[in-house]
Structure 1
Amino acid sequence: MKKTKIVCTIGPSSLSTGLLEEMHQAGMNGARINTAYGDLDQYKMVVNNVRDVADIPIIVDIKGPEIRLQVKRRKVVKKGETIEIGFNHEEISFNHSFYDEMCVGDYVYIDNGKIKTRVVEKVDGILRLSVMNDGEIDDGKGVNIPNKRLSVPSLSKKDLEVIKFAEEYDVEYIALSFTRNVQDVNNLKTEA
């Protein structure tokens, strides 16, 4: 038997016990729940269905310190354009406040790096960003700010609810996405 194990992310399209049984027979050694999507009722269904089918570990992957855009209206951006992103429910804003931690020259990658931007100016709580390639900015897209340690909370309210759920349903593992440092791990240990 191989040492490498297979962990499958279970969601709405793979939730049925019949399909889970087939996946287990094919070699699934663990089931992952991505809590960036869905709700507690869906997670309960995943745990119950997996446990009905197989005695394998379940991993709940909590979102962790994730930065996302809040966009009122989808926006197409072009290379060379300057856009403004704020922190207080502007047309485009971040879901966390870290304005004071940003510097001119910092890179801001949107939607898994599909759109690359660079801070060219900071004015009254707004970041002005130079767009480095064409793309489309939409609500909920993830943001990465490389080489920056931001004071974004490591656990969200939903993360705390999911941790409680994981304890209640005897989930074997909790995975912490976007872990930045030891303090993030300690924060999770305190709650779990």
Structure 2
Amino acid sequence: MMHPTTKILATLGPASEAPHRVKALISAGASAFRMNYSHGEHEEHLGRLTTVREVASEMGRHVPIVSDMQGPKLRVGKIAGEALKLGFGDEVEAHLGETAPEGTLPVPHEELFEALKAGDELMIDDGAIRLSVIEGGSAKMVLKTEVPGTVTNRKGINVPGRRLRIDALTEKDRSDLAFALEHNTDYVALSFVQCAEDVQAAREIIGTRSRIISKIEKPSALEDLEGIVEASDGVMVARGDLGVELPLEQVPPAQRRIISMARERGKLVIVATQMLQSMVDAPIPTRAEASDTATAVYLGADAVMLSAESAVGRHPEAAVAIMTRIIRAVSEDPNSFAEIAAACPDPFMNAVGGATAVAAADAADLVDATAIVAATNSGSTAYLISQLRPEQPIIALTPHELTARQVALAWGVTPKIIKDTEDFEELTRFAAEASSEFTGAQSENLAILLAGLPPGRVGSTNTMKIFRIGDYK
């Protein structure tokens, strides 16, 4: 039985929210579900969340939920005449406010006027229209059209070259966040993260109630990538928005850099946006999309994400099933683990826990262990061994449901709930039972147990045990 390595994060929406659909998606290979707070009301999200929890319980699975905050949205205001046609080289004034005189652009964002200077670029409608700043100002700017088009009401604005003085959490986000935390979300995905301080501000609100995934979607985030990764529990390569504000040819190198840095520091990393985009309508993806997904797996991403493909697409179960087949094909490639290791050759590890995890991974290879079992309260032991991307299945034993759900998103980890125990021999017996259950291990097989002694202390991974399955069955 192939153990899950790279996980699949599927977005729930109208096409996939019914209980039988959620069950089918999990059966097809979905490990986690994303709730997109850019769309829908709290009542809708509660229905989806409840469905996931109920279906997962029926199936005996631990399925994490990622609550994705909308973040600030910069938009054009209400245009006089409903539309403004801009030709190449045309100059146009932008006025601060929801409305503006005919023939000008209303821009209701004071922060833009504060930040933009002559020579800066401003993009409208996901980059379909591009303007350069000729003259800045506190309430009026003069812009020149570089890529022409027709601007209509409320189209989105992107500013690639400047860090804007805007909080990553809007009032809507704070309301959505309070709702998600009230209903025990496992992860919160932050949008519009520009620097580590944005993550720290969210951490003050969230505390330990949820783990934080920072979406890397702006060039300014790349400038403070190390700080953002350190402040977060995980990052998401949000290629859609990143591809608007970066030249397209710079997105693949940025993706590799983000994955490498996250892996080095032991943080989750998710690759998102348009993985199998053609499957929104088509029953199979393009070969290029299959290759793109495989590339993320070869780079060692913890998860790949489906957005519209599973939320509103015509073939949500097929999209998950095909993504599962791609992940399986990479895992069965005899060179895949070498490539995954080469993509992050020197992960940073803390002294005691890191040394124990490295020893466990090395020992698992030397004795041909059938599994590496991580006993964990907070999840830290499971994340540690996952960081090394071993060839053996990783089983996380924990007495806590929240921890079980959270580690289910980590590369190669399968969680199992056990009773809390301070008896190391009993813990070894639980490890033997889980190894047999999840890998089909026989009595003569060996497994590795990774734990902290004395039990119950967070971050105390200091003990490795090699044991024979049959001695504890």
Q: In the alignment, what sits opposite 1:179? A: 193
Gaps of 5+ in 1: none
Runs of 4+ in 1 over 4 A off after TM superposition: none
Cα displacement (A) at 1:163: 0.9
Letter of the aligned partner of 1:57 in structure 2? P
Distance 2:179 2:39 in 1: 15
After superposition, the C-alpha distances for 1:12-48 in whole angstroms (9 at most, x for unaligned) are: 2322112221111111111111112222112112211
After superposition, the C-alpha distances for 1:153-184 in whole angstroms (9 at most, x for unaligned) are: 22111100111011110000000112100111
More helix, by proportion = 2
Provide the secondary structure at the position in 1 that maps to 2:96.
coil
Contact kept in structure 2, 1:96 and 1:152, CA below 8 Å? no
Distance 2:194 2:138 in 1: 28
Q: Is 1:147 equivalent to 2:156 in the alignment?
A: no
RMSD between aligned alpha carbons? 1.9
TM-score, structure 2 normalization = 0.38
Letter of the aligned partner of 1:165 in structure 2? F
After superposition, the C-alpha distances for 1:125-173 in whole angstroms (9 at most, x for unaligned) are: 1222212223332333322211211101221111001110111100000
Contact kept in structure 2, 1:62 and 1:176, CA below 8 Å? yes
Could you say if the C-alpha distance between residues 109 and 48 of structure 1 is closer, same or farther in structure 2, counting changes exceeding 3 Å? same
Could you say if the C-alpha distance between residues 6 and 95 of structure 1 is closer, same or farther in structure 2, counting changes exceeding 3 Å? farther
Provide the secondary structure at the position in 2 that maps to 1:41.
helix
Q: In the alignment, what sits opposite 1:134? A: 148
Equivalent residue pairs, number: 192
More strand, by proportion = 1
Gaps of 5+ in 2: 57-61, 207-473
Provide the secondary structure at the position in 1 that maps to 2:147.
coil
Contact kept in structure 2, 1:160 and 1:191, CA below 8 Å? no
Of 49, 69, 72 in structure 1, the residue corresponding to residue 76 of structure 2 is: 69
Could you say if the C-alpha distance between residues 129 and 153 of structure 1 is closer, same or farther in structure 2, counting changes exceeding 3 Å? same
Could you say if the C-alpha distance between residues 135 and 25 of structure 1 is closer, same or farther in structure 2, counting changes exceeding 3 Å? farther
Cα displacement (A) at 1:60: 0.7
Distance 1:36 1:96 in 2: 19
Provide the secondary structure at the position in 2 that maps to 1:18.
helix
Cα displacement (A) at 1:123: 5.3
Cα displacement (A) at 1:95: 4.2
User: For structure 1, which segment, 36-45 or 132-141, has the greater mean C-alpha deviation from structure 2 after superposition?
Assistant: 132-141
Distance 1:74 1:26 in 2: 45
Of 103, 115, 124 in structure 1, the residue corresponding to residue 129 of structure 2 is: 115
Provide the secondary structure at the position in 2 that maps to 1:188.
helix
Aligned-pair identity (%): 28
TM-score, structure 1 normalization = 0.90
Could you say if the C-alpha distance between residues 134 and 160 of structure 1 is closer, same or farther in structure 2, counting changes exceeding 3 Å? same
Q: In the alignment, what sits opposite 1:4? A: 6
Q: Whose Rg is larger?
A: 2
Provide the secondary structure at the position in 2 that maps to 1:12.
coil
Distance 1:13 1:85 in 2: 40
